[in-house]
Amino acid sequence: MLDRQMTPTDHRPRVMVLDDEPTARLIMNRYLGLHGYDTIAAGTVDEAVAVLKRERVDAVILDVGLSEERTGLDVLRTLRRLPGLEKLPAIILTGKILDDAEELSIARERAYLFRKPESLEVLVKFLDQILGTDQPQ
């Protein structure tokens, strides 16, 4: 299910959030919204890929550990092959221990790794930095 946090202005950066847990999506949507971001949240890999193909986003936050066979890393590999998204800022968010191949994949696909339970404040400050935005706190 796609969740949207929208505002009437086009000046806010837009971030797609992939997480299979509805509560985690809701918290991330609300927190990012309070810090000057519009969000589009996806609960599955298919939803996330569909969003990336039809919507303009300025960055993505992808959970690795999903309840399906595919992961946020699959979305990352897909988006790097979509025209115009090769350099889209991507944050990988995970609470699991990654193996060497997964960490290498994240580095190879030019993404940033954040481990849960990293604070949302730190995540937003980093997002502000990579997007070059000064969001009011």
C-alpha 59, offset from chain centre = 6
Per-domain residue ranges of the chain: 3-126
Per-residue pLDDT of 89-128, as tens digits, reads 999 988 888 999 999 999 999 999 998 877 888 989 999 9
115-132 per-residue burial string, b: 16 or more CB within 10 A, e: under 16: eeeeeeeebbeebbeeee
- Phi, psi values for residue 20, rounded to 5°: -80, -10
Half-sphere exposure at residue 61, Cβ-oriented, CA atoms within 13 angstroms: 27
Per-residue pLDDT of 44-99, as tens digits, reads 999 999 999 999 999 999 998 887 788 889 899 999 999 999 999 999 988 888 99
Q: Which CATH architecture has domain 3-126?
A: 3-Layer(aba) Sandwich (3.40)
Cβ 12 vs Cβ 59: under 8 Å:
no
- The rounded distance, in Å, linking the Cα atoms of 41 and 55 is 12
